[in-house]
Structure 1
């Protein structure tokens, strides 16, 4: 399977983690995509409308019966709502067609342009970036509305998911309830679940880098209270124990 990420247009860098392209050969085994605390928008050469994939709370399996090209944008946490114009919890663990989120004519024109002709992949991705820049310009970058969520995201990611939500709310000068409501609206998950996925992703990276990990030490290094909590999160987020994950080859989006 071909997969490549590209840095976004500089004017989108505050909002977009990357744009990416992939080509699945078709007919092969399904690959596993793990929760990554991001929202993606994808367009595929299957004649269907593009779609957004909301924040994920567990792994999904992706398979294609025939060769399939995908062009996509991956938003930074808390930024997709500026382009989709809906509360992000509405699409958590779901997909939503772009022509239902954007004006239908705009969505159809972009889809047609992406799959017409033989332009190189990076040029096609630039069409997506231009569409996002138009929406950012027309809708405005309402940093004030997302400011609290962004400060919380920075603290959670900076601590590797180890800061407690009650402590974080106190540091931000808001109640836990207000923080949770803002976080769900702009991010799509609760702060606690976001933090757990931060720890999980830290653990998956550590496992890939360690040929023979000491599981108890790895759990502590990644912010888990003990090994059993590490095992619980692996079962919930990827459907396997850490030891099985260590010997598999999952795709982490």
Structure 2
């Protein structure tokens, strides 16, 4: 797999297996778009004469603008594992905005995009079908990126420093694995729990509690992938689950497997 930006901590599940079926590249945005855009991603595959392949993607707290034949749109943070069926030959192009980075383009609460994606034309002056033809027909990936940046730039908003705050908060959640409660992260940044929740619903589209749980579940999944056996009971208690069954349900929603099934697959 090639990459032009550092790999994020969350993304494709079972990547070593999937990389035999498709190619995933990521490209850094131009300087003027870097405040809002995390990276561009491109998935290509050629399974001609081979069985279809179902690839699972771990949820993350980002909005994605997706260019795909007949299915283009703007999608909010997924609240559960997303599965994509790769078959035949194809290409999908995506713009991954930083957490909170899409809000200034949308100018309304991001909450709701997860359940109700919107057409690209609702935000940017571009016809989805034309964008599909223009971008997906290019052989050079840098040309794809330049075309996408061409329709992002005319709508470029002013910088909103709340985005910086939100990304600092999410980076802290990602890096400090002992953070398991909303009041803990709120205290770290001198915010009330209520204000923190309001900011996340407005800018990110999901709750801070969901983001904390997501990263801790991903930490556990990563440990299992590396052959380490997490203490599932301790993790579920640390995250505030009153019984392990609810923890198992959320883990399965995020990965498609129960903790034990996930550990066995990576054994």
Shorter-chain-normalised TM-score: which range?
Answer: 0.7 to 0.9
Per the alignment, residue 263 of structure 2 pairs with: 246
- CA distance in structure 2 between the aligned counterparts of 1:148 and 1:235, rounded to whole angstroms: 30
State the match for 1:185 in structure 2. 202
1:83 aligned residue: 105
Is structure 2 residue 148 aligned with structure 1 residue 128?
yes
Shift of 1:89: 0.7
Question: How far 1:161 moved relative to its partner?
Answer: 6.9
Q: Give the Cα–Cα distance (whole angstroms) in 2 for the partners of residues 146 and 73 of structure 1.
A: 17
Deviations 1:60-82 (A, max 9, x none): 22125542211112122221223
Task: Give the whole-Å Cα distance in 2 for the aligned partners of 1:235 and 1:154.
Answer: 24
**Deviation string, structure 1 residues 30-55 (Cα, Å, up to 9, x no partner):** 222221222211112x2x36312211
Equivalent of 2:60 in 24, 30, 36: 36
Distance across 1 between alignment mates of 2:133 and 2:259: 43
1:67-108 CA-to-partner distances (Å, cap 9, x unmatched) read 221111212222122334332112024432212232355x56
| Deviation for aligned residue 1:6 | 2.2
Calculate the TM-score normalised by the size of structure 1.
0.78
Shift of 1:134: 3.3
Alignment of 1:1-253 (within 5 A): 1-25=22-46, 28-44=52-68, 46=69, 48=70, 50-64=72-86, 66-104=88-126, 110-116=131-137, 118-136=138-156, 139-143=157-161, 145-146=162-163, 148-160=165-177, 162-210=179-227, 213-216=228-231, 228=244, 231-248=248-265
Whose helix fraction is larger, Structure 1's or Structure 2's?
A: 1
Pair 1:206–1:225, CA change in 2 (3 A): farther
- What is the alpha-carbon distance in structure 2 between the residues aligned to residue 224 and residue 164 of structure 1? 7
Unaligned stretches of 5+ residues in structure 1: none
Other structure's SS at 2:39 match = strand
Correspondence for 2:18? none
Distance 1:36 1:219 in 2: 23
User: Using a 3 Å threshold, how does the CA distance of structure 1 residues 95 and 161 change in structure 2: closer, same or farther?
Assistant: farther
Cα distance, 1:53–1:164 mapped onto 2, change above 3 Å? same
What RMSD, in angstroms, separates the aligned Cα atoms of the two structures?
Answer: 3.2
Q: Which has the higher contact order (CA 8 A, sep 6+)?
A: 1
Question: Is the CA contact 1:161–1:196 (under 8 Å) kept in the aligned structure 2?
Answer: no
Per the TM alignment, residue 247 of structure 1 is displaced from its structure 2 partner at its CA by 4.7
**CA distance in structure 1 between the aligned counterparts of 2:23 and 2:30, rounded to whole angstroms:** 22
4+ residue segments displaced more than 6 Å = none
Long gaps (5+) in structure 2: 1-21
SS in 2 for 1:3: strand
Q: Is the 8 A contact 2:105 2:123 kept in 1?
A: no
